[in-house]
Amino acid sequence: MNMERTWKDQLYQEFARIGKCLSSPKRLELLDLLSQGPKSVDQLAKLTGMTVANVSQHLQTLHESRLVRSHKQGNFVIYDIAELSVADFMVSLHRLSEKQLVEVQKLKSEILLNHVSMEPIGLERLLKRMERGEVVLLDVRPEDEYASGHIPGAISIPMEELEKHLASLPADKEIVAYCRGPYCLMSAQAVEILKSKGIKASRLEEGVHEWKRFVEHSSKF
């Protein structure tokens, strides 16, 4: 019995290493960003508003818990999630938090209230409409994130380049924009720009990893 107790204590101590590592809001944000594709420390510093030193420190903690990996690329150190299950975990964390914490629901509602007509289109409806050729799916993330993985059939126009490329979008189809998932606002901003130019547009709330989960779940039935 004592051996079993010791074994369980050691086991949950190891589990707690991951929990301790994820107790920082900034480390959670870093994992979300790395789930979209590999990034340098400088890129992560710009995206999070942290100093390079702080980002490096957080990445070291994540690396020690084996949630991220790194490699040298020229003069840069590039970080990535250690495996896809880390991205799956982040999707589960988002969903659980939104379900259980009214504060998350309130924050999400408040930010979307600032964007007009942001009722999202669901994945199932989107895929059916794409099959019928009724919509064009637009990925507004940076090009490197699109290259790392995107929803099949999506075209890439990064958010900062959208207004320059409006003429390349078909005028006879609805544009559905997506970005990094439910808590990314680039897609909402893209829809506002498109609508202001008279283009029919809507927002897909889900991102690449939510889409992968949806496809995997659908294939089981």
The pLDDT > 90 percentage for the chain reads: 82
Residues linked to residue 73 through DSSP beta bridges, in sequence order = 76
The pairing of beta strand 76-81 with beta strand 39-40? antiparallel
Instruction: Give the start-to-end residue ranges of the domains of the chain.
Output: 2-82, 105-219
Residue 4: half-sphere exposure toward Cβ, Cα within 13 Å: 1
- Rounded to two decimals, the pTM is 0.89
Catalytic residue ranges: 179
What CATH number matches the domain at 105-219, 1.20.120.420, 3.40.50.300, 3.40.250.10, 3.40.50.2300?
Answer: 3.40.250.10
Per-residue pLDDT, averaged over 193-221, amounts to: 88
Which strand ranges, in their side-by-side order, compose the sheet holding 155-156?
155-156, 135-139, 174-178, 201-203
Beta carbons of 93 and 210 less than 8 angstroms apart: no
Residue pLDDT, tens place only, 33-46: 999 999 999 999 99
Q: What is the pLDDT of residue 116?
A: 53
Please tell me the class of the 2-82 domain.
mainly alpha
| pLDDT of amino acid 109 | 84
pLDDT of 188 strictly over 70: yes
Distance CA 141, CA 127 (A): 20
